Structure 1
Amino acid sequence: MKQLGKLLFGASLVMLLAGCSSDKKDYLDRMAEEHDGDVPVENAASEISLSSAVTGEEVTYATVNGEDITGYLTKPEGMDQNRPGLIVIHEWWGLNDNIRMMTDKLAGEGYTALAVDLYNGRVAETPENAGKYAGSVNSEEAIDNLKQAYNYLAEQQGAANIGTIGWCFGGGWSLQTALALPQQVDATVIYYGRLIIENEQLKKLQMPILGIFGAEDSGIPPEQVKKFEAALNEVGVTNSIHIYDGAGHAFANPSGNRYQKEAAGDAWTKTTAFFEKHLK
């Protein structure tokens, strides 16, 4: 029966990924429109203060198709093992300095945080390249990558509870990770990521979901967000969904020019409180 269960799960995952790929071009086109003229540049908002000192390093956490995958691991200084872990998933720009900064910021809240790399070392500086890199991601390989990230935190870092968080492209993969590991992931945060609204898929989720979205985001429009929230409620998944008025796509990215300080600050407060409640 256990082997049959694995086969059925594998089949359902393939169907899910196939369904996701069917509207991939449409999604990437919408993201290109949302990021038109945007560039990931450092600015004053990128300068953060940490709640506690952290230590970060590049680590090899996975091997996909024979290729080693390097991510950024950071953790609070002077804290014991068995602290909660976080899988941090980059925006469509890739694993850049902004994501490392956000990973440090999360670690400063008391987590072992691993920023994964779904682009195999590539980092985009223009929307054109970002769209190209996002479009080239193989779904099955990405899921393999993210599952190994979970195992790395659980087995090599001794993380007692593990959550996921991602923004934009990474927000969608935060949800996909939760769907791929519904019994293992303990909490999931989605920042304006690509959504699944089919009840049959969402009913697999066993963890609480926090969703952060912008009312002016035409790539992930409020109507779709509300359908997602309704579907979660229908299948009994604990959730907290927030749509910020006046905020568009990527409003929480301090290194982009879509940044909205007030909305981003409130979203961060909700994020840290959510993880505090469900991972600690």
Structure 2
Amino acid sequence: MSDSLSATTIFLTGADGAEVEAYLARPDGEHTRGGVVVIHHMPGYDRATKEMVRRFAELGYDAICPNLYSREAPGADPSDAAATARAQGGVPDDRLVGDVGAATAYLRALPTSNGSVGVVGHCSGGRQAVLAGCRLDLDAVVDCYGAFVTGEPPAGYPLKVTNLVDQLPSLGAPLLGLFGAEDKTPSPDHVAELDRRLAELGKPHEFHTYDDAGHAFFATDRPSYRVTAANDGWERIASFFGSHLTGRES
């Protein structure tokens, strides 16, 4: 397999009919492969997230990241767009599902698709990845330190968000969770609750918690970056997707 790839901006149509900007990266070649939807973190549709999209293409997947803030601030700087979206309470869950559903359909329509699509998200995107796994037909879900999958937002929290406990029975794909022991949202107690609930529901999942890491340990451009945890996490993600995005039977 060649390590050459291409990347470009495209536009999707969200479930509400809105035009949604998205970043697409694909490995060269016409061989069939799985797809990955990357859900960006709360800071937005930024350079670091696009680097992740390209990394999944390097790993051999067609990968796409929808700009969840396209409606609030089209064409804006990522930090400005994130501030605008945050001031409006964040991305509504139904709209998120629609945008990720549009990205999933786009990947499955590519001539190189083997039918399998996974989703991965960091920070707020981790929770949204689990939400997508509960509401969409996906083959694998990766939650990187997503807050409020379990637990309750504190009083005065600026985003209009609830936990996903009532939706977990609908989770239809295996889940990989990567967490930091020093994180507070989600805290180790939140992770333990999620582990327990998924086990009770019989949902396939595997969790890994890194002792020397807090929130955002994958973020190479932030002080929270932890190289050992991030490198191990990437290896686990590659192995997980390698096991679950191998194609659907026709």
Q: TM-score range by the shorter chain?
A: 0.7 to 0.9
Instruction: Give the match for residue 153 of structure 2.
Output: none
Corresponding position: 1:234 with 2:200? yes
- Structure 1 counterpart SS, 2:218: coil
1:191 to 144, 148, 151: 144
Q: In structure 1, what is the equivalent of residue 94 of structure 2? A: 140
Amino acid at match of 1:262: T
* 2:160 match: none
Alignment of 1:1-280 (within 5 A): 52-63=3-14, 65-80=16-31, 82-120=32-70, 121=74, 122-125=76-79, 129=83, 132=86, 135-156=89-110, 159=113, 160-181=115-136, 184-197=137-150, 200-280=166-246
**Distance of aligned partners of 1:57 and 1:124 in 2 relative to their CA distance in 1, 3 Å threshold:** closer
Structure 1 residue 220: Cα displacement: 0.9
Task: Look up the equivalent residue of 1:84 and give its one-letter code.
Answer: G
Corresponding residue pairs, total: 227
The one-letter amino acid of 2:123's match is: C
Deviation at 1:204, TM superposition (A): 1.5
Q: Which amino acid aligns with 1:53?
A: S
* Unaligned 5+ runs, structure 2: 151-163
- TM-score (norm: length of structure 1): 0.75
* CA RMSD, Structure 1 to Structure 2 (Å): 2.2
Q: Is the 8 A contact 1:57 1:73 kept in 2?
A: yes
Residue 269 of structure 1: SS of its match in structure 2? helix
Q: Distance in 1 between matches of 2:170 and 2:144?
A: 20
* Structure 2 letter corresponding to 1:174: A
Q: Give the CA deviation at 1:79.
A: 3.7
* Residues 188, 129 of structure 1: alpha-carbon distance in 2 compared, 3 angstrom cutoff: same
Residue identity (%): 30
- Relative distance call for 1:248 and 1:123 in structure 2 (3 A) is farther
Report deviation, 1:99: 0.8
* Cα shift at 1:211: 0.2
In 2: Cα distance, 1:170 partner to 1:134 partner: 17
User: Deviation of residue 91 (structure 1)?
Assistant: 0.7
Do 1:247 and 1:260's aligned partners in 2 also have CA atoms closer than 8 Å?
yes
* CA distance in structure 1 between the partners assigned to 2:165 and 2:243 by the alignment: 26
Cα distance in structure 2, aligned partners of 1:225 and 1:217? 10
Q: Is the 8 A contact 2:148 2:185 kept in 1?
A: no
Secondary structure of the 1:270 match is helix
1:195-223 CA-to-partner distances (Å, cap 9, x unmatched) read 43466521212211000010111121010
TM-score (norm 2): 0.84
Letter of the 2:51 counterpart: M
| AA aligned opposite 2:38 | V
Checking the alignment, whether the CA contact within 8 Å between 1:199 and 1:232 is kept in structure 2 is: no
Query: Structure 1 runs of 4+ off > 6 angstroms?
Result: none
Kindly indicate which of the two structures has a greater share of residues assigned to helix.
Answer: 1
Q: CA deviation at 1:107?
A: 0.9
- AA of the residue aligned to 2:99: N
Q: Which residue in the other structure is 1:26 paired with?
A: none
